[in-house]
Structure formats: C-alpha cells, structure tokens
Amino acid sequence: MYSRRIVLWVTALLIAFAQPCLAEQVDSGVPGMIFDHDVPVTMTDGVQLRVNIYRPEKSGRYPVLMLMGPYGKDTSMADAPAYKTSWGKLIAKYPDLCRKSSCRYIRFEAPDPERWVADGYIVIHADVRGAGASPGVLDPFSPRETEDYATLITWAARQAWSSGKVGLLGTSFQAINQYQVAALQPEGLAAILPWEGAFDQYREIAYYGGILNVAWEFWWTHQVVPNQNGNAQTPLVDSINGGTDTGAPLAPDVLKQNRVDPVEAFAQHPFDDTYYRQRTPDASQIKVPLLDVANWTDWSTAGYRFAASKGKWLRIQTGDHLTPFYSDEALALQKRFFDHFLKGVDNGWEKEPRVAVQIRRPNGTVWRNAGAWPLPGTRWQRYYLDAANASMAPGLEHLASAQKSYAGLGDELTFTTKPFSKETEFTGPIGVRLWVGSSTADMDIFAALRLIDPQGRDVTFIGNSDPNVPLNLGYLRVSHRAVDRTKSTLYQPFHPHVASEPMTPGRLYPVDVEFTEPTSIVIPRGYRLALTIQGRDFGYGPDANIVHANDYPLPDAHNSGLFFAAHPNRDAKLYGGTNTVATGRDHASYLLLPRIPR
C-alpha cells in the first residue's frame, strides 16, 4: 500500500505535468521570437515557480535549452549594480555583441535566447525557488532545489511545442546545478554543457583543503539576496515590465526566515557530512552526454573525470569565466554539441577530440587536442625542496636534512628553481608533499605556484574570478591531513575531511596539499618557478612586482582566485603559531609537476 506522502507527491506531479501554460505573452521585439513571461509551473509540493519561455514563432516541436538560477530571469546585466562591471568587460571584449542581438534578454551567466531561437531552439529560464518571481525558501543547491529542476525538465519535455529533448546550458551557478540534476536522470534530459561549474560541494565550494571559504558571503549578499522573492528593497529592476520582479513584499523577519545563508550553513558543517553529500551529485548516475568546460583557475575538471557518461568531453581554458562564454567561438561550439545531441544532426561531433586544452605561455595561448586526461605521455617529475637555501630542483632525493620556520599568520617561505635552460612545459594536475610542524595544535597551509620572469617579476594570468592569479593555488588545514589512499592517485590526494586530528606541537607530519584544479604553462628559457608556502591568503597587492600576461592592472585585493579565508574559525591562537617546513632525507618535501615531453 502506498503511503499518504507518496500519493500526495504523485498527485502533485500529475498536476504539474497536466497544467496549461498560463503565460503573459509579451511582444519580444525580436522578429520570429515569441516570449512567454512569468509562466507558472507547479512543483511536487504545490509551489509554483516562474519561468520565461523564448520560442520560435513558427509552429512546431523544438528542442529545449534550460537553465535555472537565482540572479533574476528579468534582470538586465547592463543595469544591475552587481553586474555592471561584468557587462562592461563583456562589451569591451566584444563591442559588436549587441549588433548581433538586441541584447535585451541577456542575463548574468546565461545564454542569449535570441541567438538560439533563431536556430530552432526553445530557451527556458527559471527563477529558483525563493528568488525573483518564484516564491518559497531560498536555499542554494539544496535537494529541494534540485528536485524542482528535475520537475521543470520533465514538464518542458512534455509540452506541445517541445521535441521531448532538453539540454542544460549556463555558467557558474547554472553549471553546478546541471551536474546535480543530471544525477537524478529526469525524463527528457538529453545533454548538459556545464561551463565552469564546481562539482564537489565541500571541496570546491564550501571548504578548500578543509579551510572555510567565506568569499561566498559577498556573492550571497550582493548577487543573491537582492533578488530574493519578497524583497521590496531590491535595487534590481524588472527589465520587462519595469518596477520589480520579486513578487509580493514580505516583512524583513519573514525574508530572513525564507533564506538559508550558505556561509552560515557551511560553518555549521566543518566536515564532509550528509549536508554536502546531499548536494554533491552521485557521479555514477550521470549518464547523459556532457561537455565540461573548465578553467585553469577554479572550476572544474571533476565533472568530466567522475561522470559515468560514455559520451563526455573536456575543454580547459584560460581567462575569466564570463566573457568567453559569449564569444562567437563558444556559441559555435555550444551549437555543434546541442545540434548533435538534441537535434540528431550528423555534424561530426562524435569525432571531436575528447580533450582540448588551452596551453598558457607568458605571451599568449594555443589550443591542443588530446584523447585523454591527464594528457597522454605526461611524465611526473618531483622538484625537491631544500630549506637550507630556499631552492627546489629535480633529482635531489638525498638532500641533507634542513628546516625553516615562519610566523603562521605573517611570514612566508618561498622555494625557487634555477632559471630554466630550455623551454619546458608543465600541463596537468600538480601535487605538493610537505613535512610540517607547528608550535600549536593546528596550522593552515596556503600554497602558490608562481612563474618568475628574468627580471624577477611575477607573471600573472587571468583567472576565473580574478584578473591576476599565479599558476596554481593549494590549501590544507593540517588537522584534515588524513588521506584515503583507495581514492587517491599519484598526483591527486583525496582527503576525506571527516574528522580533525590535532597536531602535537613540535612534531613533524607528512601532508599532501590539496589542489582542486590542474595547471598549464610553457616556461621560456631564463624563467623560474617558485613555490610559496604561508599561513594566510595568497594574493597580490597594488605594490606587487608583477607583469600580467595580458597587461591587466594591479588589483586592490590581497587574495587570489575564488577563495578568502578570514573568518572567526581562524583563531589566531591556534593558526598563528610558528610553523616549520622540513626537507631532505627522511623528510623529503617536494613539488610534483606534470612535464610534457617536447
């Protein structure tokens, strides 16, 4: 006998699939495109989310591209305070963008519907529960939110104008939730294209190496909460009808009850527990074709590496995570992928190289295709650290023992190679093994792999969220040093992050620093590599001696990449001790690099 809960769930599901489109049809202003605004779709618990539907005027059944996010399906990127900088960079990069489209419907990190509808696609953009016009509790990446997405996908696949095939497209937030919902295998889902989205909710979002990432507080406060459903004080303007698109006003105390602050939730869950496992997809259940577009700085090759899909492709690029998404080259790539899997077009996609990587140089980049990841022929090379003279080099397994100490919250240790005598390439995952100790019961390790030019300047690169980043960044809270060897590889340790093991002051411990993403660099003759170890955020200040590969200005921030560690859980008494790195003989510390033979 079915339980009452199951009967109610099935009844709500049937209502959701049977309901008509109660659309407010708006003149799109775009020839050949119909715009259905604020269409209600009922979820399994009876809550109605709101979606925008952009579809061809010519009758027929078309494949659907869908995305679901918290930023406002009706919020113009050009006018919203939180997105004006991004919009300015986008238009500066592609000044003719709005000559190919009216740009009226471009939303933050979302595809431009005009450029898809014209090629026979329907685009559906949904406000997540609790955001914009969709009521309910705003709880990013929650199981409830993922279930909503699955309901929307199947609803779209069953509409009269749909071919029954749904693909997912979007960047950042709208890439992360693609992995989540794909693991539920909803009816109608035919392919996904997550563009620079994280996969592991603990290791890539909440905690880096076991250290809480409070950078999300800025995202939450400036980009998400302003668009909360019921927020009468929102600065965001409804670009379709004017005014606001956040529904009926709610009292401040009700608004607070209707949202779950992610950083507060992260702080309450310092270990990789059920909270994160409910939000990290079961990769074995992701079986649809996927194209994972990753970035050398943050987010993420994990979806490609772990998904069970037989048809999966990986591209790793440089640059920020927004402007490349809107380039003509990106649009052509996206359309080739979806034309093949949603329309059945025989365009040779199946012969597309499984891996394509954008190899970085100090003066530019070049694309390279490969059949697997890491790249075939990779030779793993250890650069051994020597604390006696702050150097590192290959082939020094039998160095004399040495130690060097530094203040946990102030100083740093940097180990530098000799100038390279010939051009050398390193492309792939990296690792750092250190022997460390502290005068306290714990320590945080912030590691930065840097490229130094012949004039002694740091060469920086454009990162996912920062225009000046080093080659790579790694993190580890030493009390989280335990490694699961069954899930680890030579180049990628897997820390379970399920318990804290305090250090004994003065004792040395071997630790493997966690790097979530790989790197790529062709090092010219005369350049050097440097590995910096410290106990605080790594970053470049306005007075840093750097040269950017693309002449970007010096930043004001003092942290690099999508990470910031300042938080009350960084107790100075615990993490501000005197830290020590040991090298040589029984305490061999090294940097593991993926050398690509010429």
- SS3 state of residue 93: helix
- Residue (of 149, 107, 463) closest to 299 by Cα position: 463
Chain-centroid distance, C-alpha 273: 21
- The helix/strand count (H/E) of the chain reads as 12, 28
CA gap 307, 290 in Å, rounded? 9
Tokens 């090379």 correspond to what residue? Answer: 381
- Reading phi first (left if > 0) and then psi (alpha if -120 to 50, else beta), residue 136 is in left
Structure tokens at 141: 């990446």
CA gap 512, 141 in Å, rounded? 29
Residue 233 to residues 129, 236, 239: CA-CA distances in angstroms?
19, 9, 16
Q: Could you tell me the residue ranges of all domains in the chain? A: 21-352, 379-596
pLDDT of residue 15: 35
CA gap 478, 512 in Å, rounded? 9
Helix (H) or strand (E) run with residue 114 in it: helix 114-117
CA gap 261, 305 in Å, rounded? 30
Domain 21-352 class, CATH top level: alpha beta
Tokens 């990470």 correspond to what residue? Answer: 563
Tokens 């590192």 correspond to what residue? Answer: 392
Supply the CATH classification number for the domain 379-596. Answer: 2.60.120.260
Which amino acid belongs to residue 62?
A: Y
Buried b (16+ CB within 10 A) or exposed e, 503-515: beeeebbebbbbb
pTM over 0.85: yes
- Residue (of 212, 216, 271) closest to 567 by Cα position: 212
- Residue (of 155, 363, 180) closest to 278 by Cα position: 180
CA gap 391, 445 in Å, rounded? 19
Structure tokens at 239: 């670009």
Q: How far apart are the first and last CA of the chain?
A: 67
CA gap 32, 23 in Å, rounded? 18
Cα-atom radius of gyration of the chain, to the nearest Å? 25
Structure tokens at 179: 């992995």
How much helix, strand and coil, in percent to the nearest 5, is found in the chain?
25, 30, 45
pLDDT of residue 567: 62
Structural contact between residues 552 and 467, judged by C-beta atoms closer than 8 angstroms: yes
Chain-centroid distance, C-alpha 45: 30
Q: What is the mean pLDDT of each run of 10 residues along the chain (598 residues)?
A: 36 38 73 96 97 97 98 90 86 92 94 97 98 97 98 98 98 97 98 97 96 91 95 90 90 97 96 97 98 93 97 95 92 98 97 97 95 97 97 88 94 96 97 98 97 96 86 97 96 96 98 95 98 93 74 50 72 94 96 96
- Half-sphere exposure (Cβ direction) of 478: Cα atoms closer than 13 Å: 32
Tokens 């980049």 correspond to what residue? Answer: 365
Pairing status of strand 528-534 against strand 509-513: unpaired
Helix (H) or strand (E) run with residue 517 in it: none
Within 8 A by CB and 6+ apart from 478, the residues are 436, 438, 442, 443, 444, 445, 503, 509, 511
Q: Could you say which DSSP state residue 184 is in?
A: T
- SS3 state of residue 542: coil
pLDDT of residue 46: 97
Tokens 């709005």 correspond to what residue? Answer: 98
Q: How many residues does the chain have?
A: 598
Structural contact between residues 575 and 440, judged by C-beta atoms closer than 8 angstroms: yes
CA torsion sign, 256 to 260 to 262 to 268? positive
Longest dimension (CA), the chain: 77
Dump strand ranges (E) for 57-183: 62-69, 122-127, 162-171
